[in-house]
Amino acid sequence: MGRDGAWKGWPITGWRRDHAEAREDVVIVEEPLEIQAVVPGDGTMEVFPVAVTMRTPGDDEELALGFFYTEGLIDDPQPLAHGLSIERPSPNEARVILPPELRIDRQRLTRHFYMTSSCGVCGKAAIEAVFVQGFPSLPEDGPVIPLSLLYDLPRRLREAQTLFRRTGGLHAAAIFDPEGRLRWLREDVGRHNAVDKVIGAALREGCLPLGRAVMLVSGRAGFEIAQKTLRAGIPILAALGAPSSLTLELAQAVGMTVVGFLREGGANVYTAPWRIHVHGAT
């Protein structure tokens, strides 16, 4: 078993042309994590099961913290400083203990979350829900990053993906500053989990909102990824894959820059292109 139980060895028969070889491969671990909320009452502590997600073990506290923030269950950008804490009743449980003064919608704790591409919620309703939920205003004066730097971010992401290099089975989410310095990176079998983990890491350090940052994700830029990025106040979302139409509608409404199909030497800029400096581009 690897670091934090994130990977394990598995016996396989490997074929190279007509030659078979018995050897061990490294595979990524996928296990459920139940995220719970503990709400204090009159001398009692009520436990709400909030969600179950299939994730790669590791950074589970950051996953739970990021999930609570990006899904709008808490609005405080410095929750740990104001009394929120996280416990681990078991390896596959993360319990978020809310301070008494933190108001929370108890009904929302027991609802299913609509932020999935398969839920059937129409685009207009989904975008309106984001506005009702609230998000930090994106800066109107930047950041502006050079196109050459944008092109180099996938390489910097790959070099930092230690688990992916070992297993080939993980999504990644990374937050860079406008100079291209990597601030946080997290990997997970689920792309949404990777985003929640990396935002949870920033939240844990009291760094939200991140108005001078770039979010880079290894997969596509779906609506869920966009709304989580927006909740963190990040004005530039870049993806190695494609954005969805709903992502672009949300980005256009709030002034977020969305970049898709990013690779070394190529990119599609869909919205707010003024944040990408193209002088001298070839």
Q: Give the residue numbers annotated as catalytic, written as ranges.
A: 119
Query: CB within 8 A of 90, min separation 6: which ones?
Result: none
Q: Which amino acid, one-letter code, is at 55?
A: R
**Cα dihedral value 80, 78, 55, 92, nearest 10:** 20
Q: Distance of CA 122 to CAs 159, 221, 222, 236, Å? A: 38, 18, 14, 24
Query: CB within 8 A of 195, min separation 6: which ones?
Result: 66, 70, 173, 215, 217, 225, 228, 229
As a whole number of angstroms, the distance between CA 68 and CA 199 comes to 10
In 3-state terms, what secondary structure has residue 14? strand
Closest CA to 70 of 196, 257, 198: 196
